[in-house]
Amino acid sequence: MVVEGYTATLICVRDLETSIHFYCDLLGMKLVHRAESSGRPDVEEYHAHLFNMPQVRYRSARLAVEETPVAIELLQYEVPASRPKPQDYLWTDVGYLRLSFRVKDVKATYQELKAKGVRFVAPPASRPTGGGNLLAYDPDGNVIGFSQPMRSP
């Protein structure tokens, strides 16, 4: 078997509309497609089989980063309802994932998103080799990274 490509990163969310607002209106991603399984027995049956569960019902939104093949699928499960991450969930825990986006200037990104009410792990960090990183929280507490590339010599 050989992996032929990347399709998407899927993120379970509490509230689909809140997450669409965050990723599209605040971060500038593009809403590409919406879907829901409600009222579509064939889709619900397919996902119930895929996840080996008696019933699955969800709403989703597919987002894209302009000029890249990156896609994110936001999923709000209604049946069974998604459970929140444990409060003591750490970055070192098995299964922890983080999205990371390239930006031109992490300090400017920090100022812009801070003015829009986004919460951060800490202010931007500059790398000794140039560039820098910034970590923020999405509405569900997932950590989103922003990376400024190193300067070319």
Instruction: Report the predicted TM-score, pTM, of the whole model to 2 decimal places.
Output: 0.87
Per-residue pLDDT tens listing for the chain (153 residues): 788 888 889 999 999 999 999 999 999 999 999 998 887 888 888 888 888 888 888 899 999 988 788 899 999 998 888 888 887 887 778 877 888 999 999 999 999 999 999 999 999 999 888 889 999 999 998 899 999 988 765
DSSP string, 45-108: HHHHHHHT-S--EEEEEEEE-TTSS-EEEEEEEEETBPPPPPTT--TTSTT---EEEE-S-HHH
Fill in the DSSP letter of residue 18: H
CA dist., res. 48 & res. 125, Å (int): 44
Give domain limits for the chain: 6-83, 98-153
Domains 6-83 and 98-153 belong to one CATH topology: yes
Quick one: fold of 6-83?
2,3-Dihydroxybiphenyl 1,2-Dioxygenase; domain 1 (3.10.180)
Domain 98-153 sits in CATH at: 3.10.180.10
